[in-house]
Amino acid sequence: MLKEDEHLKRLAENFLTNLKKSGASESSVLISNSISETVNVRNKKLDGSTRSDSLNVVLTAYVGKKKSSISSSNLEEDHINELIKKCVETAKITPEDELNSLPDSELYFKGIKNLDLYDETFIENSKKIDFIKEAEDQAFKKKEIVNTNGSGFSQNKSNFILANSNGFIDGYKSSNFSAYCEVVAKSNGSMERDYEYSSKRFFKDLLEPKKIGQKASELAINKLKPKKIKSKKMKVVFDKRIAKNFLSSFAGAITSGTIAKGTTFLKDKLNTQIFNDKINIIDKPDIIKGTGSRYFDIEGTSTDKLNLVENGVLKNYLIDTYNGKKINMKSNGRASGTTNLFFENGHEDYKNLLNSNKEIVYINETFGSGANIITGDYSVGASGFMVENGEFIYPISEITIAGNLNEIFNKMVLGNDLEFNYSTNSPTMFVDELTIGGK
C-alpha cells in the first residue's frame, strides 16, 4: 500500500529540522512513494511481469547562496543522518551563486486539490493479462496479423510530499493506467508493424481492449506494400499523434533555461508573431483527470493556466525559479515542465485538410531526432500515405521530411478534431510545402 500523507509529512518535517541543525540556512525535501505493476504479453501468452515499490527522498540544502542536492532510497535512520550531514557539507564547499534560493513564498500553491487525479481501483495481475489478451485476440481476427511485437498493461500509484524551510508542505496521490498493443502484419512478402496506446488516470477511462487491438491491426495492415516516392517539395498533413511532437519541440525552445543560455531559435521572441494569427497554444494544469494535470511544480510553485501563444504571438515562457531570475522573470510553476499542453482546436474539417491540394503526403509515423531547437531545423524519417484528391491511394515509406520550425509554425493550419488522449495533444495539422526526400 502507498504510504499515507501524514507518514510522509512526519518524515519531511524531521528532515527539515535536522538539515537546519546541521547548518543549512534554507532547505527543501521531496519524499515520494510509488508502486508500479506491469505485465507483458506476446502472442496471447504472458511474456513477463514486474512490480516495484519505491520510497525515495531528495534533499536540497542551502548554506547562504551555496546549494547542494542529494537523493537516496535508503531511509534507515543511520543512513538518513549521514545523508543530511553529507548534503550540508557538500553545499558548504560548492561555489556561491547569487541566484540560488527557494521560490518566493507568495508563489506557493494554496488552493483546493479537486482535480480527481487518483483512482483507488486496483487491477489484479490476472485481469491485466486478460485485458491485453483480449486486445491481441481482437487484432488476430485479421488474417494479415501474424505476430505481435509485445503488448502490455501498467498500473502506477504514487504519493509524495514536498516541504521546505519557508513553511510550504503539501503533496497528493496520483494514479495512471496504461495499455498498448503492437502487432505485425504480413501480406505477399510485405511486413509492417504498428500499435495503439491508451493512458488514463482512471482505469474505467482506458480505451476498451477490443478497440486497442482493432486499431493496432488496422494501422499495421494499412501500411502493407508501401511504395517509395520521388524527392520533391510537397504539401503535408500530419496525423494528430505526430502533430503533437511539434508542441514538444516548441516547449523545449521556450524553457527559461534555454532562453537564459540563448540556445534556442525563439530567444528574444516574446511578444513576437511566431505562428500565423489563427494559432493558439495553451498549457492547462487544471483539467479534471488530465494526464498532465497538477497543482504545483517540483518547487511548490502554483501551476496556473498559461496562454503560451495567442493569435500567433508568443506570450509566455516556461519559467522556474533559478532561470527565471536570469531573465528577470518570476516562476510560473513550470520547473517540472509543461502540464496539459495543446494547440487550441483549429477551424478546418479533417476532410477539408485532405482536399486542400490535389496531391498530399499524409504522415502517421516519424523516426529520428526531429527538431534542433538551437537553429529550428527540422528533419525526420517518416512513413505514411499518398493522398490524391482527398483519398488515401497507397502507403509510402523510407522518406525524410525537412524544413525549419520558423516556416512550419508560420504555415501550419490546424484541423478541428482535437482530442485529449495524452499530456500533449494536437488536432490534425496541415503544412504548406515541406521538402520530401525519397528515391
pLDDT tens per residue across span 238-251: 999 999 999 999 99
Q: What contacts 106, CB < 8 A, 6 or more positions away?
A: none
Q: What contacts 152, CB < 8 A, 6 or more positions away?
A: 38, 39, 40, 41, 132, 179, 180
**DSSP for residue 214:** H
Torsion of CA 349, 350, 351, 356, to 10 degrees: 80
Residue ending a domain, among 107, 135, 150, is 107
Give the per-residue pLDDT at 132: 97
How do residues 99-127 score in pLDDT, each as one tens digit? 999 999 999 999 999 999 999 999 999 99
Residue ending a domain, among 67, 87, 107, is 107
C-alpha–C-alpha distance, residues 240 and 178, integer Å: 19
Give the per-residue pLDDT at 361: 97
Q: Is 227 part of a structural domain of the chain?
A: no
Q: Is 91 part of a structural domain of the chain?
A: yes
C-alpha–C-alpha distance, residues 227 and 194, integer Å: 17
424 pLDDT more than 90: yes
| 157: its cell numbers | 500509484
Helix ranges restricted to H, 265-393: 321-326, 350-354
The domain tally of the chain equals 2
Report which of 97, 163, 170 is spatially closest to residue 322, judged by C-alpha positions: 97
Q: Do 237 and 383 sit in the same domain of this protein?
A: yes
Give the per-residue pLDDT at 254: 98
Q: Do 97 and 240 sit in the same domain of this protein?
A: no
Report which of 436, 438, 430, 435 is spatially closest to residue 390, judged by C-alpha positions: 430
Q: Do 97 and 237 sit in the same domain of this protein?
A: no
How do residues 389-399 score in pLDDT, each as one tens digit? 999 999 999 99
Contact 350, 240 (CB under 8 A): no
Give the per-residue pLDDT at 439: 79
Q: Is 93 part of a structural domain of the chain?
A: yes
Q: Is 429 part of a structural domain of the chain?
A: yes
Q: Is 201 part of a structural domain of the chain?
A: no
Q: Is 89 part of a structural domain of the chain?
A: yes
CATH code for the domain of 22:
3.30.2290.10
**DSSP for residue 139:** H
C-alpha–C-alpha distance, residues 330 and 318, integer Å: 10
Specify the amino acid at residue 341: L
How do residues 153-166 score in pLDDT, each as one tens digit? 999 999 999 999 99
369 pLDDT more than 80: no
265 pLDDT more than 80: yes
User: To the nearest whole percent, how much of the chain has pLDDT over 90?
Assistant: 95
Q: What is the pTM of this model?
A: 0.95
Q: Is 334 part of a structural domain of the chain?
A: no
Range of the domain at 76: 5-34+51-107
Hey, is 41 helix, strand or coil? Answer: strand
The model's confidence at residue 426, banded by pLDDT at 50, 70 and 90, is very high
C-alpha–C-alpha distance, residues 9 and 32, integer Å: 11
- Per the listing, cell 498530399 goes with 360
Average per-residue pLDDT in the chain? 96
Q: Do 95 and 236 sit in the same domain of this protein?
A: no
292 pLDDT more than 80: yes
Contact 246, 370 (CB under 8 A): no
Give the per-residue pLDDT at 404: 97
Half-sphere exposure of 392 (CA within 13 A, CB side): 13
The residue-averaged pLDDT of 328-338 equals 97
The shares of helix, strand and coil residues in the chain, as percent rounded to the nearest 5, are: 25, 40, 35
Give the per-residue pLDDT at 14: 95
Q: Is 100 part of a structural domain of the chain?
A: yes
Give the per-residue pLDDT at 2: 87
